[in-house]
Amino acid sequence: MFALVDAVAFYASAEKVFDPAIRHKPVVVLTNNDGCICAVCPIARQLSIPKFQPYFKIKRYLEHHDVVVRSSNYELYADLSERMMTVIGRFCDDHYVYSIDESFLRFSGFSKVISDWADYGQVIRRAVWRETGLPVGVGFGPTPTLAKAANHAAKKLFGYNGVAVINDDKSRCEILSKMAVTDVWGIGSRLGNKLKQLNIQTALDLANQNPKAMRRMFSVVVERTVNELNGVACLTWDEVKQNKKEIFSTRSFGERITDITPLKAALVTHAAIVARKLRRQHSLTKRIVIFAASSPHEEVYYKKSMLYDFITPTSDTRVIAKAVSEVINTLYKPDTRFYRCGIGAIELESEYFYQTDMFNKSADNPKIMTCIDTINNRYGVGALSIGSEKLTQKWAMRRAFLSPHYTTRWSDIPVIDCD
């Protein structure tokens, strides 16, 4: 049995945890640079606020309906996420954090102990609520795709109260028949449109297709989805937990940049983020892509990207930052209004099977990196960083509606006034 646990409108719910005044109000959270709406709480959802619309386009509508608007407080969300995942982890024998607010759980042998999965789901919900103040939905299913579907039912369909279980054909058909095909994990709007032309409307319609025919018409991914919807496991636990094959860090700037110094500072910061992510999954990269670009909405669009190959694969922040120094002059173009930049590690290999080079000594120093990671894990990311990250903060993101860092900054800790 698998389960998928995720938070209801995570960012918006996180904003409500330490701010009782907005708990019963419509709340939305914006993406980086206050660009788009990315989270809509259930109360705000009733106002049919669309996700991923540019904020400035619906600003007036939000004001008119007295909607509380917040910038992304990533420091707060990351910390609450970690607490939430720690609680969830207690209830299964293995779990995999799939994104900041969702986690796959695996239960092997639990069926002998647990007679009622729905009850068990409520136990998990109550524990997370009690210990973090976050509302979560829980979906159980015999395959990861069905667990995802049950999770959808738990949160969106009437009568489930936050927990749904698929454990026989009746519950499976019941839930899948009420789900649109585009609510299935892996079926987006494009595939959805094509499927609708074949009169495949609901998730159950899709489940009833011939898997081989689906493969011929679409892809092996759709075939796998059909099988999974029928309880035939195609994604093994190891595949669900697989390491990333590419790791990117990209960001748009708070304001357009024309100087080379802030561009370099931003890219070195991305180098540090990518290297940290690589180390976390015990990977090294042989090749990275470094890019900078103007806004695609600009009249003349400028984008330059460069590949950089390392002689020996690396996950060392300093080595990747040095690559930035080497290419920055080629990337930079004077009088260009840079809008975003980033770095991606695109050819990864495991650090456990590292092949040394006979003629070139690796510049990596794992001990220094481990030391930096340990300090940053304890005192916060950025406590220790590469000097050129700090050259300037001119590129920092815009966050006009930022809430306090309640859990990660001493000065922001909530105070209860007892008078």
Partner DNA sequence: TCTGGGGTCCTAGGACCC
User: Which stretches of the chain bind DNA, using CB under 7 A?
Assistant: 10, 31-33, 35-36, 38, 52, 54-56, 99-102, 148, 182, 184-192, 219-220, 242, 244-252, 273, 277, 295, 297, 303, 305, 307, 339-340, 342, 344, 397
Residue 332 and residue 260 in contact, taking contact as beta carbons nearer than 8 Å: yes
Residue 111 and residue 1 in contact, taking contact as beta carbons nearer than 8 Å: yes
Q: How far is the CB of 111 from DNA (least distance, A)?
A: 26
Q: How far is the CB of 242 from DNA (least distance, A)?
A: 7
- Looking at 230-351, list the stretches that DSSP marks H as alpha helix, in order from N- to C-terminal side: 237-240, 260-280, 317-331
**Ramachandran angles phi, psi of 297, nearest 5°:** -85, -10
Biggest distance spanned by C-alpha atoms of the chain: 72
Return the structure tokens found at 318. Answer: 């300093």
Q: How far is the CB of 367 from DNA (least distance, A)?
A: 25
d(CA 180, CA 206): 10
Task: For DNA, give the closer residue by CB, 60 or 378.
Answer: 60
**Measured between alpha carbons, how far is residue 193 from residues 41, 72, 186 in Å?**
28, 32, 14
d(CA 419, CA 413): 18
Task: For DNA, give the closer residue by CB, 222 or 419.
Answer: 222
d(CA 39, CA 37): 6
Task: For DNA, give the closer residue by CB, 111 or 219.
Answer: 219
Task: For DNA, give the closer residue by CB, 63 or 169.
Answer: 63
Q: How far is the CB of 318 from DNA (least distance, A)?
A: 20
Of 248, 348, 262, 258, the closest CA to residue 291 belongs to: 248
Q: How far is the CB of 67 from DNA (least distance, A)?
A: 17
What DSSP assignment string belongs to 61-126? HHHHTT-EEE---HHHHHHHHHHHHHHHHTTSSEEEEEETTEEEEE-SSGGGT-S-HHHHHHHHHH
**Measured between alpha carbons, how far is residue 122 from residues 16, 91, 96, 158, 271 in Å?**
21, 12, 20, 16, 42
Task: For DNA, give the closer residue by CB, 277 or 405.
Answer: 277
Report angle CA 166, 171, 173 to the nearest 5 degrees.
Answer: 110
Q: Is the dihedral of CA 152, 157, 161, 165 positive or negative?
A: negative
Q: How far is the CB of 50 from DNA (least distance, A)?
A: 11
Task: For DNA, give the closer residue by CB, 182 or 201.
Answer: 182
Q: How far is the CB of 342 from DNA (least distance, A)?
A: 6
Task: For DNA, give the closer residue by CB, 56 or 379.
Answer: 56
Task: For DNA, give the closer residue by CB, 110 or 178.
Answer: 178
Q: How far is the CB of 178 from DNA (least distance, A)?
A: 17
